[in-house]
């Protein structure tokens, strides 16, 4: 178990997308986030108290979360030095980077000497089965996207919270490093061997008979040539009854691939429905979630209304405007409307 509360690490990051793990924890788990650590040349903030390691330990922090993402997920020298200093101050270290903490000898030695814990969030459990595609009881919703990092985790968490407020049993099933730290459990899907991806999702979303929902965090995109394999395996293992499509309307191209344009909403819906039907013929799309964080509110609301009318699907920015209309469609508490992908 990773001890809380957390000190959230920003380091020297300058790109807001690079601190998405720390930001996700600050947004969804402020109760266990006591502060942020950043160097003087870091222009970003989570609007948490800025603390050094000793001050954070004195304020009750137990673990420094290296909540950043860099190219290749590497532990660079500055990051290693900061982690060593944090352990000297009395903090454990948690990281979701691909480069494992336990693969760095200096961190392993310091942890042993100081009695600290190193938590590699991207270490999958060893008992993941191969997926079998057998129909299992329960209801499941999966978020999918036109691209990576378009709000699938935020949307899934917002849906889970809103269902709980309606008195509907709902569990968030995390598939990425941030979601695992938020939920305290899950599977780091991008670290699972390809043959076991669908089995990993079957494992974390087992049969349920309480008329509740599993809300499964999506990963990647079927249209991203780097990560489509993970997205496909997730679709098959989730066996979803419902999909919510997530989209960033101001993104100029696929993340990290300026030579790849974003796919259209209609083609993305159809591709995900076709892939999901392998394990659930009755899958349907119940809404579209837009990430409008870069847009003025009036413009964002107008775009939601435009896309909702075009696709005849409830459309919202879940974090800014809520998910009630999407839940009405999901639960059948609205007047039924045709579920069509519309035209491109």
Pairing of strands 315-316, 213-216: unpaired
188: left (phi over 0), alpha (psi -120 to 50) or beta: beta
The pLDDT of residue 31 is: 94
Prior bond to 317 cis, omega within 30? no
Q: Write the CATH number of the domain with boundaries 6-120.
A: 3.40.50.720
- Give the Å distances, CA to CA, from 323 to 20, 94, 112, 316, 329: 21, 32, 46, 7, 10
pLDDT at 338: 45
Report domain extents, the chain.
6-120, 139-331
How far, in whole angstroms, is CA 331 from its chain's centroid?
23
Q: What is the dihedral of CA 327, 318, 180, 271, to 10 degrees?
A: 70
What whole-number distance in Å separates Cα of residue 64 and Cα of residue 123?
18
Contact call for residues 62 and 92 (beta carbons, < 8 A): yes
Instruction: Give 166's DSSP letter.
Output: T
pLDDT value for 343: 36
User: 139-331 adopts what CATH topology?
Assistant: Rossmann fold (3.40.50)
pLDDT at residue 17 in the model: 80
pLDDT computed for residue 1 by the predictor: 81
Contact call for residues 237 and 202 (beta carbons, < 8 A): yes
Residue pointed to by tokens 């669908």: 198
Buried b (16+ CB within 10 A) or exposed e, 182-211: bbeebbbbbbbeeebbbbbbbbbbeebeee
Judge contact between 152 and 218, C-beta under 8 A: yes
Res 72: pLDDT: 61
Enter the tokens of residue 75: 């532990």
Q: In the prediction, which pLDDT does 337 show? A: 45
Per-position pLDDT tens, the chain of length 344: 899 999 999 999 998 888 989 999 999 999 999 999 999 999 999 999 999 999 999 999 999 999 987 766 778 899 999 999 999 999 999 998 888 999 999 999 999 999 999 999 988 888 999 999 999 999 999 999 999 989 999 999 999 999 999 999 999 999 998 999 998 889 999 899 999 999 999 999 999 999 999 999 999 999 999 999 999 999 999 999 999 999 999 999 998 899 999 999 999 999 999 999 999 999 999 999 999 999 999 999 999 999 999 999 999 999 999 999 999 999 998 754 444 443 33
């Amino acid at each position: 178990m990773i001890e809380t509360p957390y000190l959230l690490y920003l380091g020297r990051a300058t790109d807001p997308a690079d601190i998405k793990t720390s930001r996700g924890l600050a947004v969804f788990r402020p109760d266990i986030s006591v502060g942020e650590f950043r160097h003087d040349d870091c222009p970003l903030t989570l609007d948490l108290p800025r603390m050094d390691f000793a001050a954070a330990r004195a304020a009750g922090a137990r673990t420094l979360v290296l909540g950043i993402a860099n190219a290749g997920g590497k532990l660079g020298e500055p990051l290693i030095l900061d982690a060593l200093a944090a352990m000297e101050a009395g903090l454990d270290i948690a990281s979701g980077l691909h480069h494992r903490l336990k693969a760095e000898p200096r961190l392993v030695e310091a942890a042993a000497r100081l009695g600290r814990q190193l938590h590699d969030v991207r270490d999958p459990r060893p008992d993941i089965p191969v997926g079998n595609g057998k129909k299992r009881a329960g209801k499941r919703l999966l978020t999918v996207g036109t691209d990576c990092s378009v709000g699938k985790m935020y949307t899934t968490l917002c849906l889970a919270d809103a269902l709980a407020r309606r008195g509907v049993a709902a569990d968030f099933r995390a598939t990425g490093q941030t979601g695992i730290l938020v939920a305290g459990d899950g599977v780091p899907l991008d670290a699972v061997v390809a043959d076991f991806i669908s089995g990993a999702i079957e494992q974390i979303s087992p049969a349920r008979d309480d008329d509740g929902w599993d809300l499964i965090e999506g990963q990647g995109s079927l249209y991203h040539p780097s990560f489509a394999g993970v997205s496909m395996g997730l679709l098959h293992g989730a066996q979803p009854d419902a999909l919510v499509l997530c989209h960033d309307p101001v993104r100029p191209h696929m993340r990290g691939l300026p030579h790849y344009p974003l796919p259209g909403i209609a083609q993305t819906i159809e591709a995900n429905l076709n892939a999901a039907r392998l394990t659930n013929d009755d899958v349907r799309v119940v809404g579209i979630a837009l990430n409008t964080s870069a847009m003025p509110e009036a413009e964002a609301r107008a775009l939601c209304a435009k896309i909702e009318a075009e696709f005849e699907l409830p459309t919202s920015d879940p974090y800014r405007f809520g998910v009630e209309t999407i839940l009405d469609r999901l639960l059948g508490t609205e007047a039924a409307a045709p579920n069509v992908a519309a035209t491109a």
